[in-house]
Structure 1
Amino acid sequence: MKRRLLLSLGTATAATSALLLGGCASQQIESYAAEKPVLDLQQYFNGTLDAYGVFTDRSGAVVKRFTVVMTCSWQGDQGVLDEDFTYSDGSTQKRIWRLTKLADGRFTGRADDVVGEAQGQSRGYAFHWTYTMSLPVDGKVYEVQFDDWMYLMSDKVMLNKATMRKFGVRLGEVTLSFAKR
């Protein structure tokens, strides 16, 4: 009986460990390589787009709602994404991304509130983007890491989910839907 109980506990512990470790694993961009429709970042982010989003805190509560009007253009491998944010409290913000297309579906990007250079890669219908952003909160500025995933749904719609972390601690998420005009 003791042996059966120990075996059961051992099996339960192994199963729990596998679940916990699996929960820590992050998705890989390569797993989307064969998926359709294929995202052409230069084609999708070209012209005017509207975006609708929320920022949620760690508990999942909506902290801010916002809309974005994006004016996007490319000259060869150089792109500009000019974003105008309007928040539910009436405040506004502007961010201008300057993107560079590299080989193998890779992109780099810079913006005034991005620390260093953003790194991204596209495969299939997905785009994965990582960067550090300086965020002003209550009179202070914090450097926050973004793990940003975009998923093309159709030639007009893309969904975006970004996880924000500071010192490895999850602060919240930004969820957006993009719609091409």
Structure 2
Amino acid sequence: MKNTLFAVAISIAVSGCGVTIQGEAYKDITPSFDPYDFFNGNVKAWGIVQNRSGELVQRFKVNIDGSVDANNVLTLDETFSYGLGEGVTSRVWTINETGINQYRGTAPDILNEATGTVYGNAMQWRYDMELPVDDTTYNVHFDDWMWAFDENTIVNRSYIRKFGITMAEVTIFMQKQNQSYSPK
């Protein structure tokens, strides 16, 4: 009986860890994703959040106003509205390029710094967040993956983890609204 319980516990822990994506697999896939080019301007996004059981718990839209200043800092001013569930209504990201295909960012509800790496048409964006749920707040880890479909469209999959276990998944489609691009 003791061995059976141990096997079940290990099985649950392993299955709860979720997806592991290897960024290097995308390094030669085009179009290349450049967050400065994509987010410089207005971007509209539509997304859902599903809990561990796959149940839809949030449906939302995001308006993202992005700009790059003279110091090469990317600012994303995000405004959220919800068709199902509740959540944060606004967030302002400040993002800096720290090396070739390397980024760091901050926002008021992000703990410490977010870090990002671009791999060809994909970008991994990782951070810890204070996530309000009902009457409490949980510190959770986000592992975001963004893939460029073309210069105007990306899809974002986020895995929200607590204690290494995927508690929820977020799917977001983003579309650039203006066609003028300015180089970094």
Q: TM-score range by the shorter chain?
A: 0.7 to 0.9
Task: Show the counterpart of 1:62.
Answer: 56
> Which structure shows the higher helix fraction?
1
Amino acid at match of 2:82: Y
Question: How far is the alpha carbon of 1:158 from its aligned partner?
Answer: 0.3
2:147 to 147, 151, 160: 151
Amino acid at match of 2:106: R
Distance in 1, matches of 2:32 and 2:19, equals: 25
Aligned counterparts, 1:154-169, within 5 A: 154-169=150-165
Distance in 2, matches of 1:144 and 1:134, equals: 7
1:73 to 42, 67, 76: 67
Specify the structure having the higher radius of gyration (Cα): 1
Aligned residues: 161
Q: Deviation digits for residues 19-61 of structure 1, max 9, x if unmatched?
A: x89x977222222111100111110011001000000000111
Q: Is the 8 A contact 2:59 2:85 kept in 1?
A: no
Which ranges of 4 or more aligned residues in structure 1 deviate by more than 3 Å? 89-92
Task: Show the counterpart of 1:40.
Answer: 34
Stretches of structure 2 lacking an aligned partner (at least 5 in a row) = 1-13, 178-184
CA, structure 1 residues 128+104, in 2 after alignment: closer, same or farther (shift >3 Å)?
A: same
- TM-score between the two structures when normalised by the length of structure 1: 0.84
RMSD over aligned CA atoms reads 1.9
Stretches of structure 1 lacking an aligned partner (at least 5 in a row) = 1-19
2:88 is equivalent to residue 82 of structure 1: no
Task: Show the counterpart of 1:102.
Answer: 98
Distance in 2, matches of 1:90 and 1:140, equals: 15
- TM-score between the two structures when normalised by the length of structure 2: 0.82
* Percent identity of equivalent pairs: 35
- RCO greater where, 1 or 2, for CA within 8 Å and sep 6 or more? 2
Task: Show the counterpart of 1:136.
Answer: 132
Question: How far is the alpha carbon of 1:153 from its aligned partner?
Answer: 0.3
